[in-house]
A = this chain, B = another copy of it.
Amino acid sequence: MTLRHAVLGLLAESPGSGYDLLKRFESAMGLVWTATQSQLYGELGKLEKSSLIEVAAEGPRGRKEYAITPSGREVLRSWLLEERPVAPRRNEMLLRVYFLGEVSPEQARGFLTANAESARGLGEELARVEQAVDWDDSDASVFGRLALEWGKRYAAMEREWAEWAAEVVRSERG
Contact = CB atoms under 8 A, between A and B. Distances in A.
A57 interface: no
Contacts of A114: 83, 85
Nearest to A103: B80
A19 interface: no
Nearest to A12: B102
Interface in A87-145: 87-103, 107-108, 111, 114-115, 118-119, 122, 137-140, 142-144
A147 interface: yes
Nearest to A116: B85
Most chain B CB atoms below 10 A, which of A31, A85, A89, A100 = A85
Nearest to A142: B172
A155 B76 CA distance: 27
Contact of A153 (B80, B157, B169): B157
